[in-house]
Structure formats: C-alpha cells, structure tokens
Amino acid sequence: MMPSIPAALHRAAQEFSSAPALVEPGVTQLSYAELLAEVRRVAQALIAGGLRPGDRLALWAPNSAQWVLAALGASYAGLTLVPVNTRFTGIEALDVTHRSRASGLVVVDPFLGTDRLATLQAAATAEGKQLPRLVVRVPSGWDEFVAGGASVPEPVANARAAAVNPNDLSDILFTSGTTGRSKGVMSAHRQSIDVATAWADIARLTPDDRYLVINPFFHSFGLKAGILACVVSGTAIVPQAVFDVPQAMALIADQRITVLPGPPTLYTSLLGHPDARRFDLSSLRLAVTGAATVPPALVDQIRKELGADVLTAYGLTEAVVATMCRPGDDAQTVAQTCGRAAAGCEIRIADPGGEVLLRGPNTMLGYLDDPTATAAAIDAEGWLHTGDIGRLDERGYLTITDRLKDMYVCGGFNVYPAEVERTLAQLPGVAESAVIGVPDPRLGEVGKAYLVCHPGHALSTAEVTEFCRSRLANYKVPRSVEVRSELPHNASGKILKYLLRGELRGDEAY
C-alpha cells in the first residue's frame, strides 16, 4: 500500500536531505531535511491550537511558502486539508468552510487589496454562522502561531504523523462551481501520493529540477501535480502567487527553473512579451499544458524558442490526472491529443454520446455529504462520468472534443465549440478564442466567436468567417465575431464561458 503524505515527507527528508525543497526568493529557502522540520513545527502548532486527528483545516491563501507549510503541516497532524479558491468572495469562502465543517482556518491578508478575513467575518455575521474555532492570519500572525507549537513535544507530532493511514481522508477539494454549486471532492492519502508519483515519473522529475508552480495550490493540479509531485521526487518547489509575465521570466532566469506547467495562454504570454529576449529562459526543459485547444504552432514555438519539451495532459478534480503525453511525442500528438492513460486509469468512450468515462484507483472517494451527486457521477461499475466528449485513437491517445454542456444545435446539427476553436487557433493573429451558441429564431442556435489577438494584429469579422468557411461545414461557422483585449478566466486559466453567456442574457452577476 502506498504511503501517506507524512510518510512521503519522511522519505524525502531521508533520500533528498540537502536538496532544495522550497524556494521563495527573499522569503524562504529550505532543504528537504529543513522542510520536514518546519512542517513538524506547523503540525505542533496545529495540535497546540486544539485540532484533533480527522479535523479539517481550511486554507485560503495564494501560492506561497506558508501555503506549502500549512498544507503539509495539516497532513502531518492528521488533519484533512480544505483548500479555498482565492477567487472566492467572503460568502463563497464561508460556504466552503461551513459545509466542510472546518475546525481551523489559515487566511492570508491582505491579498490583491482585499482583507479576506474581514469579508469572511462579515458574511458569517450576516448569515448567523460561526467561523472555525482556530483562525490564523498570515503573515501577521504566522510566526506567533508557529511559536505556540513549542508547548507540544516533537514526539507527539511524530506520533500523529505515524498514525495517518493511506486510506485516511487527505483533502477535500471544492470544484469551481461554474455550472452550479461547488462540490467537495474527497481523496485519500494513497490517491494523492499515487497520482503525484505517476505525474512525476512521466515528467521525469528529479532533485536537479526546479519547478515554478504557477497553477494555484488550491487546485488539484497545483497541489498534487505540483507540491506533492515535488515531494515524491525531491524537486524544488518555487511558488508564484499571481501570474505576472516579467516576474515569471525573472524567476525562470534567476532560479534556473526547469519545469513550467500552465495553460496555453501562459506560454503565449511569455513568448509574445516584448521583454522576453532580455531574460535567459534556457534552463527550461519541460512545459506541461492542457486544454481543448493547443495550437500545433505553439508546441513547435515552445520547443524552438524555449528549447523545452512539451507534454499535454487531461484531468479533473475528481480524478486529478487521467492521461498524459509522453516525452518524445511529436508536435501533432501533443497538440491534438491529451496523451494516453496514466496513473492506472482506464478510459472508455460511452456509446452513444461520446462521453469520456474514467475508472481507476485515483477516482475520487465521492462528493462530500452528497451521495446523490456521487451516484450520478460514478456508476455502478465504477466509471466516472466526466461530462467531456472525446475519442480514442488506435494508440489509446485521448482527444477531448468538447464539454457536453458546451455543445449547441444549429439547424438540427450538433456543433462542438472546441472543434471551431481549434480551427480559429490556426488563424494567424489569434491568441485565444471562445465559441458559444446564441439563440437564433431560424436555426435555434448559431455560433458566436470571441477572439483575443496577438499584439499588433487585428482581424475583421469577414476575415474570420472566410477562414472558417474554408475549413468547416457551414453550420459550424460562427455567425458573429467579437474581438476583445481579454477573456474571463478562472484561477486555473480556463475560459469562463458561462460569464460570456450571462453577459448576452444581461445577467446582473456578470
């Protein structure tokens, strides 16, 4: 049976003792031996704060060294981690802490000009709810909090860590809630470690690597394919709180970053930035991305200009990583597929409908306190219904063609926006696109394309339409085009199409 997160930390401290573990320039630099010691101190502080095995610790903060220490310290103390989306309002954060029955909360204030704790307190007062009994404010109260752990002997914390079972609940990750109320996805320690190990093996992470983690830690990728993947492989974690292109380029150059995962827009932003040539980005060896649309030209550009290999992957909170490309896959495979099964996952395409079904050891334990939603997501044979539409080629490589909810019907024909977006990605000047179905009195629905152009490029509706007509059936061609300076994204880089739809409907929430 695979180890728990505390067991993985002990192994890392033993095998990679002096290797850099956590590097936040100007703030923290810890080796793996020092990381274990600091994590133990945090665990002692959590125990001193009255948190018991099985209690839940909510963590509402941007990527930072303290996020890593708080998260790993929670696991070491036998707690269950509940990350909170940094984009959430106080009302949304209160909903997560309340539904998860969190006994503790670590919150960073201020962040992006907002006093997060104040918004949470206001929401709690308005709704007549209580905050968790232990609240730690970072950075102002962090040192005092950790120092309070001195009252708990080290052997007590070590005993807590040793008692953690691989089948114990390690984390509850709440989905983004873009199509409804967010749901708490539950995973065991063995699942979190297994999926991190699988990702690290395919990415060939070693103690010589330095991993710039821009993906949010509150997201399954940032936590498990980020922090935990580094722990199991001895790789250095270099967190970045908010994606800033010049800062990211400076970190890559100064810290000799070798591994950089992120959405396609991250790489287009780096490559297209006017100051890109001022920074030495030659240390990069691996870029990992994933989306329905990854232009082949972008894969070639990353390989040529950054000298890095490129892999694409597919996953979701309920299974974390399901497929990955492998080192050496050609540009077309990397751009047009999400790779083949990884981490012991089975893949099947449902007939009819083409929905992607997944089954494997890392599929979630279920949704928190929601057996109805769990039964709807995981059928009697253990297949997770992803809501994605896709196909498998003869090699077992998966291509995601769209979301079931994104598909629209134009004149009786199904249109999958991802197919149209892949076509638009080939149009010179297009940096990013989103296609949605909009009501039409004659055809039911027709496509509307939202575009973001590369700097210095401009596109007209006629140019876009003509390009699409030469490559797509008429019913798939967008009937209207809107060029914008940017599109709405969530913290993981995914375009929030529901906001575009809401804007058209005139929703007040937009």
DSSP output for 358-391: EESTTS-SEETT-HHHHHHHB-TTS-EEEEEEEE
Spell out the long-range contacts of 405-411 with Cβ–Cβ below 8 A and sequence spacing 24 or more.
Answer: 405/179, 406/436, 406/497, 408/436, 408/437, 408/445, 408/447, 409/437, 409/444, 409/445, 410/437, 410/440, 410/443, 410/444, 410/445, 410/446, 410/447, 410/475, 410/476, 411/442, 411/443, 411/444, 411/475
Q: Could you write out the DSSP letters of every residue in 309-344?
A: EEEEEE--TTTS--EE--TT--HHHHHH---EE-TT
β-partners of residue 332 are none
Q: By C-alpha distance, which of 199, 57, 188 is closest to 133?
A: 57
CA distance 71 to 93: 17
pLDDT attached to residue 441: 78
Q: Which amino acid does the sequence have at 192?
A: S
pLDDT attached to residue 181: 73
- Grade residue 59 by pLDDT with cuts at 50, 70 and 90: very high
- Residues of the chain with pLDDT > 70, as a percent, come to 97
pLDDT attached to residue 408: 85
Residue with tokens 């199991």: 232
Q: Does residue 349 contact residue 396 with C-beta atoms inside 8 Å?
A: no
- Grade residue 291 by pLDDT with cuts at 50, 70 and 90: low
Cβ-count burial of 311 within 10 angstroms (0-12 exposed, 13-18 middle, 19+ buried)? buried
b/e map 257-271, b = 16+ CB within 10 Å:
bbbbbbbbbbbbbbb
What are the CA-CA distances from residue 500 to residues 67, 87, 489 (Å)?
Answer: 32, 18, 11
Mean pLDDT along residues 155-160: 98
Q: Comparing 508 with 27, which gets the higher pLDDT?
A: 27
Q: Is the pLDDT of residue 490 over 90?
A: no
Q: Is the pLDDT of residue 141 over 80?
A: yes
Mean pLDDT along residues 326-355: 92
Q: Which amino acid does the sequence have at 11?
A: R
pLDDT attached to residue 319: 94
pLDDT attached to residue 2: 57
Q: Comparing 438 with 265, which gets the higher pLDDT?
A: 438
Residues 6+ positions from 470 with CB-CB distance below 8 Å: none
pLDDT attached to residue 405: 75
pLDDT of 165-223, one tens digit each?
Answer: 999 999 999 986 544 578 999 999 999 999 999 999 999 999 999 999 999 999 999 99
Q: Comparing 242 with 448, which gets the higher pLDDT?
A: 448
Q: Does residue 25 contact residue 254 with C-beta atoms inside 8 Å?
A: yes
Q: How far is CA 210 from the centre of its chain?
A: 19
Q: Which amino acid does the sequence have at 383?
A: W
pLDDT attached to residue 304: 92
Mean pLDDT along residues 310-333: 93
Mean pLDDT along residues 478-496: 88
Q: Is the pLDDT of residue 88 over 70?
A: yes
β-partners of residue 289 are 312
Which of 3-12, 292-301, 370-379 has the least mean pLDDT? 292-301
CA distance 499 to 490: 11
Which of 46-50, 381-385, 400-404 has the least mean pLDDT? 400-404
- Grade residue 509 by pLDDT with cuts at 50, 70 and 90: very low
pTM: 0.85
Which of 216-225, 418-427, 428-437 has the least mean pLDDT? 418-427
**Most trustworthy range by pLDDT among 141-155, 173-187, 331-345, 458-472:** 141-155
β-partners of residue 347 are 358
Beta-carbon neighbour count of residue 25 at 10 Å?
Answer: 11
Mean pLDDT along residues 256-281: 90
Mean pLDDT along residues 81-95: 90
CA distance 71 to 181: 25
Beta-carbon neighbour count of residue 125 at 10 Å?
Answer: 10
pLDDT attached to residue 40: 98
Mean pLDDT along residues 345-350: 96
pLDDT attached to residue 177: 52
Mean pLDDT along residues 384-401: 92
- Grade residue 296 by pLDDT with cuts at 50, 70 and 90: confident
Q: Determine if residue 26 is left, alpha or beta; phi over 0 gives left, psi from -120 to 50 gives alpha, anything else beta.
A: left
Q: Is the pLDDT of residue 56 over 90?
A: yes
CA 403-406-410 angle, to 5 degrees, is 130
Which of 259-263, 410-414, 474-478 has the least mean pLDDT? 410-414
Q: Does residue 291 contact residue 487 with C-beta atoms inside 8 Å?
A: no
Mean pLDDT along residues 384-412: 87
pLDDT of 36-48, one tens digit each?
Answer: 999 999 999 999 9
Q: Determine if residue 128 is left, alpha or beta; phi over 0 gives left, psi from -120 to 50 gives alpha, anything else beta.
A: left
CA 82-63-187 angle, to 5 degrees, is 30
Q: By C-alpha distance, which of 163, 176, 174, 89 is closest to 126?
A: 89
Alpha helices (H) along 425-493: 461-469
Q: Do domains 243-402 and 408-505 have the same CATH topology?
A: no
Instruction: Give the residue extent of every domain in the chain.
Output: 5-175, 243-402, 408-505
| Mean per-residue pLDDT of the chain | 92
Q: Which amino acid does the sequence have at 461?
A: T
Look at domain 243-402 and name its CATH class: alpha beta
Mean pLDDT along residues 433-460: 90
Q: Determine if residue 256 is left, alpha or beta; phi over 0 gives left, psi from -120 to 50 gives alpha, anything else beta.
A: left
pLDDT attached to residue 292: 54
pLDDT of 91-140, one tens digit each?
Answer: 889 999 999 999 999 999 888 888 999 999 999 999 999 999 999 999 99
Q: Are β-strands 340-341 and 236-239 bridged in parallel, bridged antiparallel, or unpaired? A: unpaired
Residues 6+ positions from 206 with CB-CB distance below 8 Å: 233, 234, 235
Query: What is 408-505's CATH number, 3.30.1360.70, 3.30.300.30, 3.10.129.10, 3.90.1150.10?
Result: 3.30.300.30
Mean pLDDT along residues 321-333: 93
pLDDT attached to residue 178: 46
Mean pLDDT along residues 350-362: 92
Q: Is the pLDDT of residue 508 over 70?
A: no
Q: Is the pLDDT of residue 226 over 60?
A: yes
Fold of 5-175: Rossmann fold (3.40.50)
